Structure 1
Amino acid sequence: MSIRKLLAKIHLFLGLGTGLLFTVIALSGAVYTWEPELSRIAYQQEVKAMDLPFVSISEIRSTLQKHFPEGDFRTALYRDPESSIEVLLYVPGTYYHAQINPYTAELIHLQDMNKGWLNYTKKLHRNLLLGNVGREIVHWVTLLALPLLISGLVIWWPGRGWPRKSSFRIKWSGPPRKTNRDLHTNLGFYATWVLIFALITGIYWGFGAVRETIKQLSGEKNMSWEVPHSIPPETGQFAVNDVVLNRLIADYHSNFSESEVRIGIPHAKDDPVQISVIAPKKGINAIDHYYHDQYSGEGIAGDFQYGLARNRSSFERINGMVYDIHFGTILGLPGRILVFLASMIAASLPITGFFIWTGRKKHTIQKGA
């Protein structure tokens, strides 16, 4: 048996074995590519801009205590003038996002992030709604999809010479069987060059051994980091100082008016106040983290694992790029469109491939008769 025929059999068996799951994972991933825009609609994040200062942490806390006292206030994300403030709240077994009007502190929307169609779409992509078992299935389907795509690319290339022009086009006027084959092989060729990156990043997330290997190669395992701490007063019980938090978020939101600013709420007496400055549409590696003493508000300097973006280690840069590559955000809107289209094509490949297979079987039976 030639290598080409062997690859064709591998392609067939992998496709039949993982096709349905691959379609579900790819289709849900295509939808989730537009998570920021869908969240803005589903969670009512858009507000009317007003010529008023943004509300303080104290005002947000007052709203939460009134409407959702059981929620453990963790972070507040201050965004642009036409977006709500997004608050992260923990409750046993789940977590919530609360959308707060930045001018009135009104609670606009409260969402359990383990429920809702958009969160189910995310879970469908990550674990097929089957928890840890589903997560492992997704990891292995992703791994097997890589040789599936590569073998398909080899099969697409002609045995002799260079591909013809027809190998890059879809003949809509031809018989359905030929059109279906073009949809599978020719669209698959185009999508493969994008999907390979989505699969490699998915494998990175799915298998700890891959991440540990990159950590070792990058020297991350040999690095040590300082841990930022607040200096608690010698007397008195721990209590969150909203005066300091109010001042810090007002200063940062004013100084970084073109960026989003997330402030963390301390939960232990030596916790620092962590403030993250997020440059919109520039990816995870464009986030700067700052630390302040929760009692005095003074900045805390040190060699921290998560600090300024320019000081990030090689491994952390790679780790940050993985998400941006997976969903195409590394190339901005064009990259997201590419990933969306490639994912939609990917979802169709097991279907068109199945029709190719059944068509061949039918043709073989008729020929034998």
Structure 2
Amino acid sequence: MRKYIAKIHLIIGLGIGFLFFITAFSGALYTWEPEFSYITYHQKVPSEDRSFISISDIKNTLKTEFPEGDFRTALFRDSESAIEVLIYVPGTYYHAYLNPYSGELIHLQDMNKGWINFLKKLHRNFLLGPFGRELVHWVTLLALVMLISGLVIWWPGNGKPGKHMFLIKWSASPKKLNYDLHNILGFYASWILIFAIGTGIFWGFSLVRETLKELSGENEKTWETPISIPVSTDPKIANEEILNSLIQEYHSKHPNSEVRISIPHKSDEAIHLSVINPNKGINAVDHFHHDQYNGKLLSGNFQNGLAQDRSTFSKINGLVYEVHFGSVWGLPGRILAFLGSLIGASLPITGFIVWLNKRKRKPTKN
């Protein structure tokens, strides 16, 4: 049985090794996307002792600097971070970073361009579009089989593993050292990678998501839509005074949180505000909806509501995202995700060398 499992492990490893290396290595780097973006997009600003700019100020800046863009959302963060503005244009979208005190445009980034976006697409679809995305899903599924089979092979056929199976002997010969790097580091990394890969499978296969929806009762739930009621036959969409008032109110009420406001684009659309605590994760985000014509808070059974009212499936979905990137455990978790993915990227290389060394040892037949 062990020989059969080892054969499966080898075949899968040789078949997806290169693609798994790309997925794991790009994933390891993408773990630090928030920090990369913060530096690359010049998001740090000096703190000033004055109020943040209004939605009207943002619109004025965009009208001058990027008039062709369609302003969608604005994310107000702490006193030393630029305001992040989401802008749509045909075929792509941009993030504009504005000084929160002066409204000056600091950086404008086409989110379909740049090395950070290249890294994201490399991880998600090998730069091959929808076909590549599907390929990543199957590579991920096969990688899970490869990891589990590797753990089975790692466990000794007789008895319990000895201490030598947990510690790398750095003074060993190159062949033995490579074997240990594959065998021992692979053992440690597998416990991290199983979670990272398992959450990737959740995203990759609709069958998994739909099954969880059915089991959690999500499919039986009905949600209401927050609606703004026009007060005239010719309503003015997204009244700036109300938008300005709401963002000021929420940012004052939640000084230690980030606040995102969405700009309505339809006459019956509500103003959507999200209150985000950066240290508590996705499942702690509170969503609020206001009538765009009078600013009143709307109540109802909304899918995006208070964190405490999130459905079981929504909580699972949020947890999946945080487990995948390791952020569920804060910075230590992200470091573990980074190291696990980095070691994972090395396994196809060390495994291939192990295979070559074994082939060289085999006697040639006359």
TM-score scaled by length of structure 2 = 0.99
The one of 158, 181, 188 aligned to 1:160 = 158
Distance in 2, matches of 1:255 and 1:32, equals 33
Counterpart of 1:29 in structure 2 is: 27
Letter in 2 for 1:43: Y
Is 1:276–2:269 an aligned residue pair? Answer: no
Letter in 2 for 1:207: F
Match runs of 1:277-356 below 5 Å: 277-356=275-354
Letter in 2 for 1:283: G
Secondary structure of the structure 1 residue equivalent to 2:146: helix
- RMSD of Structure 2 on Structure 1 (CA): 0.9
Q: Deviations over 1:116-145 (max 9, x none)?
A: 000110110000010001001000000001
1:240 offset after TM fit, Å? 2.2
Letter in 1 for 2:133: R
Letter in 2 for 1:361: R
Q: Deviations over 1:233-289 (max 9, x none)?
A: 123243321000000000000000000000000000111000000011211101000
Is 1:71–2:69 an aligned residue pair? Answer: yes
Residues paired across the two proteins, number? 366
Secondary structure of the structure 2 residue equivalent to 1:24: helix
Is 1:140–2:131 an aligned residue pair? Answer: no
Q: Deviations over 1:39-85 (max 9, x none)?
A: 10011110000001000000000000101011100000000000000
Distance in 1, matches of 2:298 and 2:193, equals 43
Distance in 1, matches of 2:176 and 2:30, equals 32
Distance in 2, matches of 1:312 and 1:284, equals 11
Letter in 2 for 1:49: S
Distance in 2, matches of 1:101 and 1:155, equals 56
Letter in 2 for 1:110: L
Partners of 1:113 and 1:119 within 8 A in 2:
yes
Counterpart of 2:51 in structure 1 is: 53
| Gapped regions of structure 1 (runs ≥ 5) | none
Letter in 2 for 1:190: Y
TM-score scaled by length of structure 1 = 0.98
Is 1:108–2:106 an aligned residue pair? Answer: yes
Distance in 1, matches of 2:123 and 2:300, equals 38
Counterpart of 2:126 in structure 1 is: 128
Counterpart of 1:358 in structure 2 is: 356
Partners of 1:272 and 1:294 within 8 A in 2:
yes
Secondary structure of the structure 1 residue equivalent to 2:86: strand
Q: Which region of structure 1 is more displaced relative to structure 2, 226-235 or 179-188?
A: 226-235
Partners of 2:237 and 2:264 within 8 A in 1:
no
The one of 187, 190, 193 aligned to 1:192 = 190
Identity across matched positions, percent: 62
Letter in 2 for 1:281: N
Counterpart of 2:224 in structure 1 is: 226
Secondary structure of the structure 2 residue equivalent to 1:89: strand
Letter in 1 for 2:134: E
Letter in 2 for 1:314: T
Partners of 1:281 and 1:329 within 8 A in 2:
no
Counterpart of 1:255 in structure 2 is: 253
Partners of 2:137 and 2:204 within 8 A in 1:
yes
1:368 offset after TM fit, Å? 5.3
Distance in 1, matches of 2:234 and 2:325, equals 48
Partners of 2:95 and 2:111 within 8 A in 1:
yes
